[in-house]
Amino acid sequence: MVEVRNVACGYGDTLVLREVTFSVERGEIFFVVGRSGCGKSTLLRNLIGLQSPLAGEIRFDGQLLAGAPRPERRKLLRRMGILYQNSALWSTMTVGENVALPLEEHTRLLRSQIRELVSVKLGMVGLAGVEGVFPAELSGGMRKRAALARALILDPEILFFDEPSAGLDPVSARNLDSLILQMRENLGTTIVVVSHDLESICTVADRVVMLGRDEKTVIATGRPSDLAREAGNPHVAEFFRGSMIEKVREGL
pLDDT digits (tens, 9 = 90+) for 144-175: 999 999 999 999 999 999 988 887 888 888 88
Neighbours of 108 (CB within 10 A): 7
| Residue 84 located in a structural domain | no
pLDDT digits (tens, 9 = 90+) for 9-52: 999 889 999 999 999 999 999 999 988 889 999 999 999 988 99
Amino acid at 252: L
| Residue 85 located in a structural domain | no
Range of the domain at 34: 2-79+156-249
pTM of the predicted structure, to 2 decimals: 0.89
Q: Are residues 114 and 75 in the same domain?
A: no
Q: Are residues 178 and 74 in the same domain?
A: yes
What total number of domains does the chain contain? 2
| Alpha carbons 231 and 237: distance in angstroms, whole number | 5
Q: What pLDDT band is residue 252 in, cutting at 50, 70 and 90?
A: very low
Q: Are residues 161 and 245 in the same domain?
A: yes
Mean of the per-residue pLDDT values of the chain:
89
Q: Are residues 62 and 105 in the same domain?
A: no
Beta-bridged to residue 80, according to DSSP, are: 158
| pLDDT exceeds 60 at position 247 | no
| Alpha carbons 176 and 173: distance in angstroms, whole number | 5
Residue 179's contacts (CB-CB under 8 Å, 6 or more residues apart) are 125, 126, 145, 148
Final residue in a domain of this structure, among 149, 176, 191: 149
**Sheet containing 2-11, strands listed edge to edge, beginning at the edge strand earlier in sequence:** 14-24, 2-11, 55-60, 63-64
Q: Are residues 144 and 160 in the same domain?
A: no
CATH number for position 63: 3.40.50.300
Q: Are residues 124 and 10 in the same domain?
A: no
Q: Are residues 165 and 139 in the same domain?
A: no
Q: Are residues 75 and 174 in the same domain?
A: yes
Q: What are phi and psi of 67, to 5 degrees?
A: 85, -5
